[in-house]
Structure 1
Amino acid sequence: MTWIADIIVDVPAMQTDQPFSYEVPDHLVDVVEVGLRVEVPFGNGNRHIQGFIVGLRETLETEVELKAIIGVLDLHPVLTHELLALADEMKETTYSYKITCLQTMLPSVMKSSYTKYVTQTDKALPKIIEEELFLGLAEIEWEQAQESPHFAELLRLKKTGHVDIRYEVTTKNKVKTKRVLKKVMTNEQLQAERENLRKNAVQKWRLLSFLLEIDEAEHGIKEVMETHDISNSAINDGKKLGWLTIEEREVYRDPYALHQFKKDEPLVLNSEQQEALDTMKESMDASKSDVFLLEGVTGSGKTEVYLQAIAHCLAKGQTAIMLVPEISLTPQTVTRFKKRFGDDVAVLHSGLSQGEKYDEWRKIERKEASVVVGARSAVFAPLENIGLIVIDEEHEGSYKQDETPRYHAKYLAIWRGNYHHCPVLLGSATPSLEARARAQKGVYRLLILNERAVSKATLPIINIVDMKLEMKNALSTSFSNQLLEKLKERMEKKEQSVLMLNRRGYSSFVMCRDCGYVLPCPNCDISLTLHMDTKQMKCHYCGHEERIPYRCPICDGDKIRYYGTGTQKIEEELKELLPDARVIRMDVDTTRKKGAHEKLLKQFGAGDADILLGTQMIAKGLDFPNVTLVGVLNADTALNLPDFRASEKTFQLLTQVSGRAGRGDKSGEVVIQTFNPDHYAIQLAKNQEYEPFYQHELKLRHRGNYPPFYFTTQLVVSHEEEHLAAKKMFEIVHFLKGFLSPNAIMLGPTPKSVARMNKRYYYQTVIKYKNEPELSKGLKVILEESQKEMRNGLRITIDMEPQHFI
């Protein structure tokens, strides 16, 4: 009898997007399991790569001679049968390779890397190569070979069989350990040892004194050395003399080790909250895979409903996932869950180090955590027996991944809900039109919270300022008179304010007033943004940086001026207009360092600042009772973008940021500055009128044949040569027309809004359709062809239901 393993190998290509059969060696028969990572030979015998076991079978004999598994890379399976099935779903719905889907599910430190070697064969090498590189060795690393002036000759020798290339799987040491000591001798023996010490043996005296003081428990060597001034050599001597033992212990990197979370108790729910919770409990108890849409105004206590629903899960011995958009995964959110569920909570998000993410993942995998709180990728948490999945701010576009595989966490969560026969709860003050339409049709179950949870809390009063009128009055700053006066009032009352401008940097662009030249990015079709703190011009697309110009490179004029406004410039204006104001700025630039986000919010929560200024990262998830004023400096940032969701995103952002005001006993006020005061998105956001907005936007979507009435697929082609990108895009459109019915609508081909990024030109086509059963077949052919095109420098991407069209 022979055991055969079906393995998906780490070669993302159409030809290899299938399981390969490998023989399981006798010494690994009792070790291998489905879901394990293994090292296998692939192609010629010198290439070793990583693979995932997706199936095991026993057979009497094999028709062909199979290669054998070299070794296993894990002690236990890293992917469950459920996650392997989910990878199949992702592969089909995102048009990705299965190996890419499998690797997306795991922490990045678990992705194997490969070391490449040049190996000498039996044939004699030319003397100069032997002396220059091999020096009697059988092989050398590829990087070392590349540095040799004889590298080209080495490649020629490969063709003649003198040398070969060998690949080896390299796995990182991902586990953190600490050295611990434990005393071995009894106190009487240790006392005798100390009495026999020489007088000058100070270090050994300290060590023996320490051992006499402690019990039998383990003690970290590093801590012992620091707190008792004992040297490492003394501890090693103690081991040799039999006083103690030294062992390595695995430890978790806990990102919240220095935090103390005082356990809190569930709050008393109002009637709306209780009704929503009871409805969900009924579904959980009946093991139904219902999808609920919890629509609640800002401050209506949606999070408390989530917490109590999850508590119901845990009481039943089940687990739960809580997804939050990365942008609003604030320390406040984590704190609420840690206070309620303590060490039962594992957190997964991009703010953690790779080691911390890995350790949090291991806590989940080892069943040491029952509740997972995290951003998009936490949907892959290896939990078993899931009883509830919650997706807060379900309308957020960040739940859709922009890179391959282009999955949407919401739909994968619903898939997992069906698998576990458990409900999925989507929550938002401003649900996406797609989710709200499904609720209206009965596909989702609608739950509504109309009241704020705090008894005295009311929705803030919203004032809209027409900036066109302000400009007529020769406004010289970014602040209207109304907003400036209200900021002063809050400072006098010792209350706090939040200011949002969805644009970082100092100025949007730099222009010469003599000839009109705008400093562009050399790699992208977009102007560079001025960042005054680093005295640099930066591209927010490719990361290019260069110094600030003081003379025009075209006309040599010196009238270089800054135009547009970013958060840095607003901060500078505040210092001039309100010199006594204490301002905290939060944007990508100020929160780059690990822990900076939390530090700034902690300062603001402690009352160390009067004004919190930031981009849209401050619009969600913040709950500060002393914030009574919110100012939106420019509501038009996203309003006129060439995207059919522009109005929806503007309405959602204004509603969300307005909800930061008046969340406690004090009433709140909002000032929205705009050049489009009559636009329906702004007018309806004024009183958080979601239903009228939904109905109005729905009519426009129906008229334009957009979601939720139509599905959309976006195809993008890019190349360093514009004409080649355009030509390929036209060929794809012509090809796809053979798979589409007359009812499908094709937009394009056209250049993307930013046609050139990072030295590549982008062309796109968008397909709108209701039911096109043959489209999938055509897209799979394009995916297969895309691999061949990569050799020519072409890149082709397929994005199902894209969230951005720019």
Structure 2
Amino acid sequence: MYYYNVFIKNAASSFDSLYTYESELQLPLGVRVVVPFGRGNATQIALVVSTAHKTEGKPLKAIRQVLDREPIVTEDLLELGFFMHDYYLTSFNQSFAPLLPPGDIKQVKKSWVLTGAGRQLIESDTRELKNLAPEIIEDYAKRGLIKEQVSIETIGKVKTETLYHLAPDYLKMLQQSKKLTDKQMDVVKFLTAHSKGTQKDILSRLGLSSSPLNTLVKKGIVVKSEEEVDRTVSTFIPTSGHRLNVEQLQAYYGILQSTKPISLLHGKTGSGKTEVYLKLAQTVIKEGGQVVVLVPEIGLTPQMIERFKGRFEGNVAILHSKLSRGERFDAWRKIKNGEVAIAIGVRSCVFAPFENLKMIIIDEEHDNSYRFHNALRYDTFDVAAYRMRQNNGKVVLGSATPDVSTYYGVRQGTIDVFELKRRAVAGAQEPETYIVDMRSELIQGNTSIFSAQLQQALDATMAKGAQAILFLNRRGFSNFISCRQCGHVINCDNCDISMTVHKSMGRLRCHYCGATKPIPKVCPVCGSSYIKQFGVGTQQVEEVCRKLYPDKKIIRMDRDSTYEKDAYDRVYDMMKHGEGDILIGTQMLAKGLDFKNVLLVGVIAADLSLNIADYKAEEVTFDLLTQVAGRAGRGIMRGNVIIQTYTPENYAITYAKNHDYIGFYEEEIQQRKAFHYPPFVEIINLEFKGDTMDRVQSLAEVSLEKIGEEIKDFQVQHSRIITLPKINNVYRAKFTLKVAPRDRSKLLEVLNRVLEESKDYVKNNTYLQIDFKQ
């Protein structure tokens, strides 16, 4: 007897565990099985994740059925699931569900085709016709079943008695054909002309009920056929590779020869990072390896797909959430079967089931969408690094504005860095960047969302037939209070982080320490009454542009306007082919888009991201401004960037204006060190949820007390317990921990015990969720 631990997807949180079953068969890990689960004869499909040993006590249930001939999840991916479970303290469902194939296991198209006998009804040629009786020939001719090139006069000379020389089964078929009705013969003719057809097509095209088709099935003339459907998109335009310049060649050879598992390709916008990716992928594939390429937004996949498919033709699979479940599964299956060597997609593509994965490329690695958050219970960087350690492969990080923690790794010597300092297009220059102080605009009586300088630049750009991008950096946007007279923002006295407006309580609140303040009616610095909640939306910008330029094509690209499946592709194609004049959008515009005719980028309000309630506010602002500025002047003509702000002296804005990442990093890393933020500490949020605030508060207090008791030989900073707004009738509270990276594993041991004890509260609909903030 053999014993196995299995994972059952979507088990309720109170049953989140691995379950042990016995089997008379020795099973490979990673196959799906059917197991009894629950009361009565109920069963569940489970994934075999590890071997087990029989323990004393209750007898084990037996595995009832094995569904797969071969594992659908490889052993290295199963190891990855256990790694995520231990490293992030996530549930088994959160750790193993991402490893399973997406969508439907198989998609088949059901159609109807003629049987051999059915085909013989209409495939008679001259040789066969000479053996037929004249009366049958005449009947065939009337029904239109005889090929046109056969002479009726020739056929008519065939003697009746030759009919008896035919084989008995052929004779039976001929006799049967005389019994077909006109409607049945219409079906036969349709299937002859089209070779096959779905029931819906046949009946709708011929205007029939299902009766004639059903009769033909009974007569053995028509049969149902099933064929597997490939739902992936395979169109591409072949392209040839560009010759790498000296910087690109140095980066390419450097990455391949590096002895460190992680390399950073730090290249300015437009410096040709993608061309280096393509060359690296080509080398890995030539040596028998496989490659995963990650992009942070679905909006970037059309461009990356176009480049990779153009170079590698049918050797690329695409994985992202805008595809249907069936399309995702078909792509997953091609990867699993080794039919392709490259997978491109957003963060979840890091789990692509390649058998010989040797390189994971993370483009725009600074982007927060790769990081751990509520909807994403893992950090893509950690997962990629773990997979490459398993497979003796390489992680390549690419960005013009690397994450501060990533560049800290460069300075600490754990990551190799390769620089691309100039634009790849010959003669291309970095854009000219201007900062507009919107406080001065207000003094001059301009209350428009466009400064005079941006308005003039837009007019000039539209007049010369070029394109413009208007950017609203709203990532992580939360309502804050700002003075339009002096630019002062209401910050928390304890954390030096902007406070968030909470309308329900009519106060400002800090999302880090929980402190609150009344909403001021005048600015505490300059006394101005021009102090209010700050905010402007893309729809408002679009309306203004349509009034100013009624004859121009205005395109808005944000979450609301790109919910349809192919919306990103349409916007990309329109801008690429010059069918759009002004593109308005949020952070998705700042990532990788390459339009040669965009000569102007306008940042409507840099302060929107500068004052988010997050310690990374300056980094987010610098990244977004630098990245979106890089969309301008990517061809030969130099572009212009205009940044509108109420705080022009902020170092994130001034360094972005000068395209100076190193200067920004040096100042930002000192701020992080002074205020004990990552990478010098790791921030862990413990959030408690339940159906009553009493139970939530109780679990939070017990957990904090338990952590205090368990910490012995290391230090942990903690905030007080903060009550959060109720959402969908769920009460919430949280507290935050800060721990030095070297003590992370010790704290995880403590938190694991706290999690175990918190399970007693689950029966009262109260539970604990742990988030790692980096």
TM-score scaled by length of structure 1: 0.77
Query: Would the alpha carbon gap of residues 38 and 191 (structure 1) be closer, same or farther in structure 2, given more than 3 Å must change?
Result: closer
2:248 corresponds in structure 1 to 273
2:352 corresponds in structure 1 to 381
Matches of 1:21 and 1:644, distance apart in 2: 44
Matches of 1:224 and 1:12, distance apart in 2: 42
Q: 2:429 aligns with which of 447, 458, 463?
A: 458
2:764 corresponds in structure 1 to 792
Does the residue aligned with 1:749 lie in a helix, a strand or coil?
A: coil
1:282 corresponds in structure 2 to 257
1:103 corresponds in structure 2 to 97
Unaligned runs of 5+ in 1: 111-172, 510-523, 529-560
Cα distance, 1:109 vs structure 2? 3.9
Q: 1:80 aligns with which of 48, 71, 74?
A: 74
Does the residue aligned with 2:468 lie in a helix, a strand or coil?
A: strand
1:184 corresponds in structure 2 to 116
2:679 corresponds in structure 1 to 708
Does the residue aligned with 1:707 lie in a helix, a strand or coil?
A: coil
Contact 1:7 1:54 in 2 (8 A): yes
Letter of the 1:87 partner, please give it: G
Does the residue aligned with 1:585 lie in a helix, a strand or coil?
A: strand
Query: Would the alpha carbon gap of residues 100 and 644 (structure 1) be closer, same or farther in structure 2, given more than 3 Å must change?
Result: closer
Contact 1:508 1:566 in 2 (8 A): no
Matches of 1:377 and 1:195, distance apart in 2: 66
Query: Would the alpha carbon gap of residues 647 and 226 (structure 1) be closer, same or farther in structure 2, given more than 3 Å must change?
Result: farther
Query: Would the alpha carbon gap of residues 43 and 596 (structure 1) be closer, same or farther in structure 2, given more than 3 Å must change?
Result: closer
98-107 vs 455-464, which deviates more?
98-107
Q: 1:50 aligns with which of 26, 45, 53?
A: 45
Q: 1:37 aligns with which of 12, 32, 39?
A: 32
Letter of the 1:274 partner, please give it: L
661-670 vs 399-408, which deviates more?
399-408
Matches of 2:727 and 2:205, distance apart in 1: 58
Cα distance, 1:474 vs structure 2? 1.3
Cα distance, 1:686 vs structure 2? 0.6
Letter of the 1:282 partner, please give it: Q
Matches of 1:471 and 1:623, distance apart in 2: 34
Matches of 1:730 and 1:685, distance apart in 2: 44
1:175 maps onto 2:107 in alignment: yes
187-196 vs 605-614, which deviates more?
187-196
Does the residue aligned with 1:313 lie in a helix, a strand or coil?
A: helix
Letter of the 1:361 partner, please give it: W
Cα distance, 1:469 vs structure 2? 0.3
1:23 corresponds in structure 2 to 22
2:132 corresponds in structure 1 to none
Contact 2:298 2:320 in 1 (8 A): no
Letter of the 1:364 partner, please give it: I
Cα distance, 1:598 vs structure 2? 1.8
Cα distance, 1:415 vs structure 2? 0.5
Query: Would the alpha carbon gap of residues 228 and 625 (structure 1) be closer, same or farther in structure 2, given more than 3 Å must change?
Result: same
Matches of 1:271 and 1:69, distance apart in 2: 60
Query: Would the alpha carbon gap of residues 476 and 233 (structure 1) be closer, same or farther in structure 2, given more than 3 Å must change?
Result: farther
2:752 corresponds in structure 1 to 780
Query: Would the alpha carbon gap of residues 527 and 656 (structure 1) be closer, same or farther in structure 2, given more than 3 Å must change?
Result: farther
Cα distance, 1:312 vs structure 2? 1.2
Query: Would the alpha carbon gap of residues 725 and 44 (structure 1) be closer, same or farther in structure 2, given more than 3 Å must change?
Result: closer
Matches of 1:375 and 1:672, distance apart in 2: 29
Matches of 2:586 and 2:314, distance apart in 1: 32
Matches of 2:350 and 2:580, distance apart in 1: 36
1:250 corresponds in structure 2 to 228
Matches of 1:20 and 1:725, distance apart in 2: 29
Query: Would the alpha carbon gap of residues 527 and 452 (structure 1) be closer, same or farther in structure 2, given more than 3 Å must change?
Result: farther
Cα distance, 1:672 vs structure 2? 0.5
Matches of 1:506 and 1:388, distance apart in 2: 35
Query: Would the alpha carbon gap of residues 763 and 5 (structure 1) be closer, same or farther in structure 2, given more than 3 Å must change?
Result: closer
Query: Would the alpha carbon gap of residues 226 and 319 (structure 1) be closer, same or farther in structure 2, given more than 3 Å must change?
Result: farther
Matches of 1:504 and 1:99, distance apart in 2: 29
Letter of the 2:737 partner, please give it: V
For 1:271-311, what per-residue CA distance to the aligned partner results, in whole angstroms no more than 9, with x for missing partners?
0111111123335xxxx661101100001111111111111
For 1:597-654, what per-residue CA distance to the aligned partner results, in whole angstroms no more than 9, with x for missing partners?
2223322322222100011111112111011100000001121223211100100011
Question: 1:680-699 residue pairs with structure 2 within 5 A?
Answer: 680-699=651-670
Query: Would the alpha carbon gap of residues 618 and 180 (structure 1) be closer, same or farther in structure 2, given more than 3 Å must change?
Result: farther
Matches of 1:597 and 1:476, distance apart in 2: 33
Cα distance, 1:728 vs structure 2? 3.4
Letter of the 2:84 partner, please give it: M
Letter of the 1:38 partner, please give it: V
Question: 1:358-373 residue pairs with structure 2 within 5 A?
Answer: 358-373=329-344
Cα distance, 1:409 vs structure 2? 1.0
Query: Would the alpha carbon gap of residues 177 and 209 (structure 1) be closer, same or farther in structure 2, given more than 3 Å must change?
Result: closer
Query: Would the alpha carbon gap of residues 445 and 505 (structure 1) be closer, same or farther in structure 2, given more than 3 Å must change?
Result: closer
Contact 2:265 2:417 in 1 (8 A): yes
For 1:344-402, what per-residue CA distance to the aligned partner results, in whole angstroms no more than 9, with x for missing partners?
21111111122222222122222222211011111111111112110111111111242
Q: 1:584 aligns with which of 555, 569, 579?
A: 555
Contact 2:300 2:593 in 1 (8 A): no
Contact 1:582 1:610 in 2 (8 A): yes
Contact 2:473 2:624 in 1 (8 A): no
Matches of 1:426 and 1:47, distance apart in 2: 47
The share of aligned pairs that are identical, in percent, is 35
Unaligned runs of 5+ in 2: 125-135, 144-179, 481-499, 505-531
Matches of 1:18 and 1:724, distance apart in 2: 24
1:419 maps onto 2:390 in alignment: yes
Letter of the 2:2 partner, please give it: W
Query: Would the alpha carbon gap of residues 745 and 473 (structure 1) be closer, same or farther in structure 2, given more than 3 Å must change?
Result: farther
Could you say which structure has the larger radius of gyration?
A: 2
Contact 2:114 2:188 in 1 (8 A): no
Letter of the 2:113 partner, please give it: L
Matches of 1:506 and 1:683, distance apart in 2: 21
Letter of the 1:54 partner, please give it: V
Cα distance, 1:568 vs structure 2? 0.9
Letter of the 2:728 partner, please give it: N
Matches of 1:40 and 1:505, distance apart in 2: 44
Contact 1:107 1:354 in 2 (8 A): no
Letter of the 1:190 partner, please give it: I
Contact 1:296 1:302 in 2 (8 A): yes
Question: 1:200-599 residue pairs with structure 2 within 5 A?
Answer: 219-221=196-198, 225=202, 239-243=217-221, 245-254=223-232, 256=233, 260-282=235-257, 290-326=261-297, 328-403=299-374, 406-503=377-474, 526=502, 564-599=535-570
1:631 corresponds in structure 2 to 602
Question: 1:659-698 residue pairs with structure 2 within 5 A?
Answer: 659-698=630-669
Question: 1:132-151 residue pairs with structure 2 within 5 A?
Answer: none
Matches of 1:228 and 1:13, distance apart in 2: 49
TM-score scaled by length of structure 2: 0.80
Contact 1:705 1:768 in 2 (8 A): no
Does the residue aligned with 2:252 lie in a helix, a strand or coil?
A: helix
Query: Would the alpha carbon gap of residues 756 and 474 (structure 1) be closer, same or farther in structure 2, given more than 3 Å must change?
Result: farther
Query: Would the alpha carbon gap of residues 718 and 63 (structure 1) be closer, same or farther in structure 2, given more than 3 Å must change?
Result: closer
Cα distance, 1:455 vs structure 2? 0.8
Matches of 1:623 and 1:656, distance apart in 2: 11
Does the residue aligned with 1:795 lie in a helix, a strand or coil?
A: strand
Cα distance, 1:420 vs structure 2? 0.7
Output the aligned Cα RMSD: 3.4
1:758 corresponds in structure 2 to 728
Query: Would the alpha carbon gap of residues 6 and 726 (structure 1) be closer, same or farther in structure 2, given more than 3 Å must change?
Result: closer
Cα distance, 1:81 vs structure 2? 0.6
Number of residue pairs aligned between Structure 1 and Structure 2: 679
Does the residue aligned with 2:427 lie in a helix, a strand or coil?
A: coil
Letter of the 1:758 partner, please give it: N
Query: Would the alpha carbon gap of residues 221 and 450 (structure 1) be closer, same or farther in structure 2, given more than 3 Å must change?
Result: same
